[in-house]
Amino acid sequence: MAERIAIIGAGLMGSGIAQVSAVGGYDVTLRDVTDEALARGVAGIEKSLRRFAEKGAISDGDVDAALDRITTTTDLGAAAEADIVVEAIFENVDVKKELFTELDRICKPDALLATNTSAIPITTIAAVTQRPESVVGTHFFSPVPMMKLCELVRGYKTSDESLERARVFAENVGKIVVVVNRDVAGFVTTRLITLLCMEAVRLVETGIMSAEDVDTACRYAFGHPMGPLQTADLTGLDILTNASANVYADTQNEAWSPPELIRRMVAAGELGRKAGKGFYDYE
């Protein structure tokens, strides 16, 4: 496989994308701003790969080969060598725009520039570059090694060629692909899950049902593997609130306006699993 991948951001999403890319046979450069962040990312990748090996899904040799395909760096300039660059940094439009301005300057003319945003319109990010036709949304799902879906999102100027290159990449790393033809805020999957989560929060906020019973109802009535509030805790209440607020700003539909309860929880630092407490206690 000739193409080289650069992943910008070694957090949960970036390290997950790096992992599936390496397992898929790609040479990967994983970049973050500190060596500590990179070390955490690689440690998480190795732990995940070893877990797959213990279950017999891959061999120990496959683990070592995948790890050998990943190199790390704090130098953004390393993206200059990549054929496909996937941004997986904090879900903030200004931060992403600043990064894509730099990537536009650094990357080679035929590089595909992908963003892993779950809610920010691709057109907004692409507009800061001189190559908006080469910018595409590749919305992976957490945890990336386990979740099979990749939502490809077309910006206003994304070319058919760029969309097809993104499809080939996603399928090569083992994902099922769906295409969003117009990059409305929240795309499709984020619009659906945030709508369900915000209504679940309202049911708890108004005392109609407990968090546990809301989740139980969704698991057994709809066959969901996780209830909406368990999903919120896993995703991060701050991230989910941000995403829902983005859709609300775009639509002005009150259904996506984050309820007071979840806004107060975020303000208090109860962000879900990563903070030890959200709608459930993880201590």
Each residue's pLDDT tens digit, 76-121: 999 999 999 999 998 888 999 999 999 999 999 999 999 998 888 9
| Residue ranges covered by each domain of the chain | 4-180, 189-275
Give me the residues of the chain with pLDDT under 70, please.
Answer: 1-2
Q: Which pLDDT score, from 0 to 100, does residue 91 have? A: 83
Name the nearest CA neighbour of 30 among 44, 9, 11: 9
Q: Which pLDDT score, from 0 to 100, does residue 52 have? A: 96
State the Cα angle at 11 between 52 and 153, rounded to 5°.
90
CA distance linking residue 92 with residue 38, whole number of Å: 21
Q: What is the pTM of this model?
A: 0.89
What is the amino acid identity at position 188?
A: V
Q: Which pLDDT score, from 0 to 100, does residue 106 have? A: 97
Give how far Cα 189 sits from Cα of 71, 79, 103, Å: 32, 29, 27
Q: Is 189-275 a CATH 3.30.930.10 domain? A: no
State the Cα angle at 216 between 212 and 220, rounded to 5°.
180
Find out whether 140 and 116 touch, Cβ atoms under 8 Å.
Answer: yes
Q: Which pLDDT score, from 0 to 100, does residue 235 have? A: 87
State the Cα angle at 190 between 189 and 194, rounded to 5°.
120
Q: Which pLDDT score, from 0 to 100, does residue 222 have? A: 96
Tokens representing 144? Answer: 């990336």
Beta-bridge partner residues of 153? 137, 180
CA distance linking residue 28 with residue 18, whole number of Å: 6
Q: Which pLDDT score, from 0 to 100, does residue 283 have? A: 83
How deeply is 266 buried, as exposed, middle or buried, from its count of CB atoms within 10 A (0-12, 13-18, 19+)?
buried
> Class assignment of domain 4-180?
alpha beta
